[in-house]
Chain A
Amino acid sequence: MVNMKGSILAVVMLCAFLLSGCGDSSYGGVKTEQSPAPVELSFWNPFGGGEGDFVEQIIKDYNDSQHKVFVKQLRLESNEYYARLSTALSLGKGPDVAVAHVDRLSPFIKAKQIVPLDALANRVGFEFNGIEESNRQSVSYNGQYYAVPLDTHFHMLYYNKDVLQRAELLNADGTPKLAEATPEGFIRFLQQIRDRVPGVQPMAVNTPYFQESFLDLYYEAGGELLSTDLKKAVIHNEKAVQVLAFYQQLFDRKLSDLNDKAPWDSFYNGQAGLWFGGVWEAGHHLGNSSLNVGIMPLSPIFGSSVHWGSSHTLVVPAYVTEQKQDAAMDFMKYFSEVGGAIWGQAGHVPASRAIVQSTAYQALPYRKLFVISRDHVKFAPKTDKYAALYTAISEDLQNIVQNRIEPGEGLAALEKKLDQILAN
Chain B
Amino acid sequence: METKLREGKGSVALRKSEPLRIRTELKAIIYLIPFLVPFAVFYLWPVLRGAWMSLHVWGIQGMEKYVAVANYKKIFANSDFYLYLWHSLYFVLLCAPTVIILGLVLALIINQNIWMRTLIRSVFFLPYVLSVSVISFIWLRLFDAKNGPVNAFLHLIGLPGDINWLTDHRFVWWAITIATDWWTVGFVMVLFLAGLQEIPTDQYEAAKIDGANAWKRFLHITLPGLSKVMKIQIFYQIISSLKLFGQVQIMTGGGPGDTTNTMIRYIYVTGFKKDMFGLASAQSMIFCFIMLLIAVIQFKMTDRKDG
Closest CB-CB distance, B268 to chain A, in whole Å?
8
**Complexed CA–CA distance, A392 and B275 (Å):** 12
Report yes or no: B257 in contact with A259, Cβ–Cβ below 8 A.
Answer: no
Q: A83-B273, A258-B167, A388-B275 are in contact. Are A424 and B255 (CB under 8 A)?
A: no
For residue B60, CB closer than 8 A to chain A, the reply is yes
Q: Which of A21-29, A145-153, A397-405 contacts B (4 or more CB under 8 A)?
A: A397-405
Collect the chain B residues with CB atoms within 8 Å of residue A83's CB: 272-273
Which A102-127 residues sit within 8 Å CB-CB of chain B? 107-108, 110-113
Collect the chain A residues with CB atoms within 8 Å of residue B259's CB: 402-403
**Complexed CA–CA distance, A222 and B80 (Å):** 31
Closest CB-CB distance, A415 to chain B, in whole Å?
15
**Complexed CA–CA distance, A157 and B175 (Å):** 34
Report yes or no: B61 in contact with A387, Cβ–Cβ below 8 A.
Answer: no
**Complexed CA–CA distance, A130 and B115 (Å):** 75
Report yes or no: B276 in contact with A259, Cβ–Cβ below 8 A.
Answer: no
Closest CB-CB distance, A407 to chain B, in whole Å?
14
Q: Which of A82, A112, A391 has the most CB of B within 10 A?
A: A391
Collect the chain A residues with CB atoms within 8 Å of residue B166's CB: 261
Collect the chain A residues with CB atoms within 8 Å of residue B254's CB: 395
For residue A296, CB closer than 8 A to chain B, the reply is no
Collect the chain A residues with CB atoms within 8 Å of residue B167's CB: 258-259, 261, 402
Collect the chain A residues with CB atoms within 8 Å of residue B274's CB: 387-388, 391-392, 421
Report yes or no: A259 in contact with B60, Cβ–Cβ below 8 A.
Answer: no
Collect the chain A residues with CB atoms within 8 Å of residue B257's CB: 398-403
Closest CB-CB distance, B50 to chain A, in whole Å?
15
**Complexed CA–CA distance, A384 and B61 (Å):** 10
Report yes or no: A387 in contact with B255, Cβ–Cβ below 8 A.
Answer: no
Report yes or no: B276 in contact with A424, Cβ–Cβ below 8 A.
Answer: yes
Closest CB-CB distance, A111 to chain B, in whole Å?
3
Collect the chain B residues with CB atoms within 8 Å of residue A402's CB: 167, 169, 255-257, 259
Q: A388-B275, A391-B269, A395-B258 are in contact. Are A110 and B168 (CB under 8 A)?
A: no
For residue B195, CB closer than 8 A to chain A, the reply is no
**Complexed CA–CA distance, A402 and B178 (Å):** 22
Which B204-255 residues sit within 8 Å CB-CB of chain A? 253-255
Q: A394's closest neighbor in chain B, by CB?
A: B273
Q: A106's closest neighbor in chain B, by CB?
A: B60
Q: What are the interface flags for B160-179 relative to A under an 8 Å C-beta threshold, 1 for contact and 0 otherwise?
A: 00001011110000000000
Collect the chain A residues with CB atoms within 8 Å of residue B269's CB: 391, 395
| Partner pick for A388 among B144, B258, B276, CB 8 A cutoff | B276
Collect the chain B residues with CB atoms within 8 Å of residue A424's CB: 57, 276, 279
Q: B79's closest neighbor in chain A, by CB?
A: A413
Collect the chain A residues with CB atoms within 8 Å of residue B273's CB: 82-83, 387-388, 391
For residue B145, CB closer than 8 A to chain A, the reply is yes
Collect the chain A residues with CB atoms within 8 Å of residue B275's CB: 86, 107, 387-388
Q: B250's closest neighbor in chain A, by CB?
A: A79
**Complexed CA–CA distance, A194 and B180 (Å):** 39
**Complexed CA–CA distance, A86 and B271 (Å):** 11
Q: B67's closest neighbor in chain A, by CB?
A: A424
| Partner pick for B144 among A89, A208, A261, CB 8 A cutoff | A261
**Complexed CA–CA distance, A110 and B62 (Å):** 11
**Complexed CA–CA distance, A392 and B270 (Å):** 10
Q: A258's closest neighbor in chain B, by CB?
A: B167
Q: B249's closest neighbor in chain A, by CB?
A: A79
Report yes or no: B61 in contact with A111, Cβ–Cβ below 8 A.
Answer: yes
**Complexed CA–CA distance, A108 and B59 (Å):** 11
Q: What are the interface flags for A372-395 relative to B under an 8 Å C-beta threshold, 1 for contact and 0 otherwise?
A: 000000000000100110011001
Closest CB-CB distance, B205 to chain A, in whole Å?
56
Q: What are the interface flags for A60-84 relative to B under an 8 Å C-beta threshold, 1 for contact and 0 otherwise?
A: 0000000000000000000000110
Report yes or no: B258 in contact with A259, Cβ–Cβ below 8 A.
Answer: no
For residue A292, CB closer than 8 A to chain B, the reply is no
Report yes or no: B60 in contact with A403, Cβ–Cβ below 8 A.
Answer: no
Q: What are the interface flags for A232-265 relative to B under an 8 Å C-beta threshold, 1 for contact and 0 otherwise?
A: 0000000000000000000000000011010000
Collect the chain B residues with CB atoms within 8 Å of residue A387's CB: 60, 273-275
For residue A42, CB closer than 8 A to chain B, the reply is no
Q: A83-B272, A388-B275, A424-B57 are in contact. Are A111 and B256 (CB under 8 A)?
A: no
26 A-B pairs (CB sep. < 8 Å):
A83-B273, A86-B272, A86-B275, A108-B60, A110-B61, A111-B59, A113-B61, A259-B164, A261-B145, A261-B166, A387-B273, A387-B274, A388-B274, A388-B275, A388-B276, A391-B273, A398-B255, A398-B258, A399-B257, A400-B257, A401-B257, A402-B167, A402-B257, A402-B259, A424-B276, A424-B279
Knowing that A107-B59, A111-B61, A402-B169 are A-B contacts, what are 5 other residue pairs whose CB atoms are under 8 Å apart, sorted by A's residue number? A261-B145, A384-B60, A401-B257, A403-B256, A420-B74
Binding site for A on B (CB under 8 A): 57, 59-62, 74, 144-145, 164, 166-169, 253-259, 269, 272-276, 279
Binding site for B on A (CB under 8 A): 82-83, 86, 89-90, 107-108, 110-113, 208, 258-259, 261, 384, 387-388, 391-392, 395, 398-403, 420-421, 424
